[in-house]
Amino acid sequence: MLLIQHFRGGMDNWDPLMTDGLAAGREVILYNGRGVASSSGPPRNRIEDMADDIAAFIRALGLEQVDLLGFSLGGMQAQDVALRHPRRVRKLMLLGTGPRAGAFGSDKRVLFHATQPVPSLEDFLFLFFGRSEAAQQAGREFWARRHQRADQDTPSSPAAMQAQMEANLGWLAPLDPAAPLGHLRAITQPTFILNGNDDVMIPTINSYDMAQNIPNAQLFIYPDAGHGAQFQYAERFLRHAIQFLDEA
């Protein structure tokens, strides 16, 4: 199982409760794209190129096929891997993400919190979690878990952030203006789609649109949750994810 991370995120931005839980029954591989976090090379600024790099990485590992999980920007890349290299993907998991030609959040605070030189707990609480005290407490618990490892991955550079912002903007353009979401019908893999009910970064309606257009998709919306619903409800997510992955 290959995990593709969010905007600016590196390997230590994953919740260890989530990654350890998934790894209990399968091999889990965490991936930093070219020029992201501790990976060297010039960062990519097109989703298509990022997807081709992921397919090359899978081949380089000697793997014929993987289950592919993408979160946020990682979910955009995962969609393009499934479209451009379909034989490499057995099952697809799309978390807190949207389709090509989808919508991004309009709240001006999103850009402020998402582009801080050193992202803080407050940035993550605003962007990823629900607004209730219980949701915010879940966010603080996630923050503590993801800092458990003493040797943390290198933060992504300003150049990586700029390249990924350009990739996000390019993602807004449809492949076919006459049928902006028509390309999703070519994703034939079983697909798991998850979001919180109030995602300020990539509005939750995007998840519904993907579920309506990907032929073999199932949709999960978690209550009182934002962009990082799988971190807020880590144990619930694990139950749902493992059942999906284990199904024939």
Are 40 and 177 in contact, with CB atoms under 8 Å apart?
A: no
Tell me the pLDDT of the chain averaged across its residues: 97
Residue 165 has pLDDT above 90, yes or no: yes
The amino acid at 89: V
Output the pLDDT for position 233. 98
- Calpha distance 79→77 (Å, rounded): 5
Domain CATH number, residue 95: 3.40.50.1820
Structure-block tokens of residue 45: 């600024």
Nearest to 168 by CA among 234, 247, 246, 111: 111
| Residue 204: HSE in the Cβ half-sphere, 13 Å Cα cutoff | 19
Residue 248 has pLDDT above 90, yes or no: no
Which pLDDT tens digit goes with each residue over 58-107? Answer: 999 999 999 999 999 999 999 999 999 999 999 999 999 999 999 999 99
Average pLDDT over residues 163-168: 98
Residue 126 has pLDDT above 90, yes or no: yes
Cβ atoms within 10 Å of 111's Cβ, excluding its own: 12
Q: Of all residues in the chain, what percent carry a pLDDT higher than 90?
A: 99
The amino acid at 106: S
Cβ atoms within 10 Å of 26's Cβ, excluding its own: 12
Q: Which domain holds residue 238?
A: 2-246
Query: What is the chain's Cα-based Rg?
Result: 17
How is 16-83 classified by DSSP, letter by letter? Answer: HHHHHHHHTSS--EEE--TTSTT--SPPP-SHHHHHHHHHHHHHHTT-S-EEEEEETHHHHHHHHHHH
- Calpha distance 29→167 (Å, rounded): 23
* pTM check: above 0.85: yes
Q: Of all residues in the chain, what percent carry a pLDDT higher than 70?
A: 100
Average pLDDT over residues 168-174: 96
- Calpha distance 37→11 (Å, rounded): 8
User: How many domains is the chain built from?
Assistant: 1
Phi/psi region, residue 191 (left: phi>0; alpha: psi -120 to 50; beta: rest), is: beta
Q: What angle (nearest 5°) sits at the alpha carbon of residue 23, between those of residues 21 and 25?
A: 95
Output the pLDDT for position 228. 98
